[in-house]
Amino acid sequence: MEYSPPLVEATIIKRYKRFLVDVELPSGDIITAHSTNTGSMKTCLEPGWKCLLSFHDNPKRKLKYGLEMTSNGKTWIGVNTHLPNKIVLEAIKNDEIKELTGYEYIKPEYKVGDSRLDIFLSKGDEQCFVEIKNVTLLGDKKTALFPDAKSERGQKHLRELTNLIQKGHRGVMFYLVQREDVNSFMPATEIDPEYSRLLKEGHKLGLEILVYQCVVSKEGIKIKKALPFKLPS
């Protein structure tokens, strides 16, 4: 996924009210940008860090700038939570996810029960349901963690996928890691022990866990490689 037009570099001043981030532009002007990220954004946003903004010249839009990435000086970190589905869908269509190739039908935002899962795939009688999570939290020993805050919505998705597996379908939890200073993945047990328990339980019943790391740059975001994962004992 490439950015067009190019992103605008700025410096973070502060984040507040979850969706608002004050930044300083290279001109010295201070503006408020919109953030789609509802998580804690722990380890991926601090005052003084560089960031990248998208500009939206839409008269209906109150805030013209949107927060896309931050930088801790070692890596750009993709924090726009509206993009992971688009990135993964594009990669599946381009046969870049080896575990998800060969499907004849692809549909995003597929309603199942009282949930809406991110991607539905099918070929013949086989049905595959994929839920995607954006991973930005940095843990110890270069480990990426999810979630960065308690996620009842995430727990609900795990229960839904596990139910689908027990009905004979294929279920996939896809963790998209949008930072390049990590080399493995684990659920954030200390932050959300119930999410961690449900992931482990689902995996025992056949829930597949895919973890892919992105190349994150000013020009765009592209899936690079699979990462290993570890579940709590």
Q: What is the pLDDT of residues 146-156, one digit of tens each?
A: 999 999 999 99
Alpha carbons 230 and 140: distance in angstroms, whole number: 13
Does residue 206 register a pLDDT over 90?
yes
Residue with tokens 């990462």: 227
pTM strictly above 0.85: yes
Given CATH 2.40.50.580, say whether it is the number of domain 8-78.
yes
Is there a contact between 108 and 119 (Cβ–Cβ < 8 Å)? yes
Q: Is the domain defined by 84-226 classed in CATH 3.40.1350.60?
A: yes
Q: Delimit the CATH 3.40.1350.60 region(s) of the chain.
A: 84-226
| % of residues, the chain, pLDDT over 90 | 91
What is the C-alpha separation between 25 and 28, in angstroms, rounded? 5
Q: Where in the chain is the domain with CATH 2.40.50.580?
A: 8-78
Mean pLDDT of 130-150: 97
- Whether 203 shows a pLDDT value over 80: the answer reads yes
76's enclosing H/E stretch is: strand 76-78
Please tell me the distance from the alpha carbon of residue 63 to that of residue 56, in angstroms, as a whole number. 8
* Residues contacting 180, CB < 8 A, separation 6+: 74, 75, 76, 213, 214, 215, 216
Alpha-carbon gap, residue 90 to 41, rounded angstroms: 25
DSSP state, residue 230: -
Phi, psi of 154 (to 5 degrees): -65, -40
3-class DSSP state for residue 168? coil
Cβ pair 133, 154 in contact under 8 A: yes
Q: Using the structure block, give the residue that is written with the tokens 């998705």.
A: 157
Which tokens hold the place of 208? 């597949």
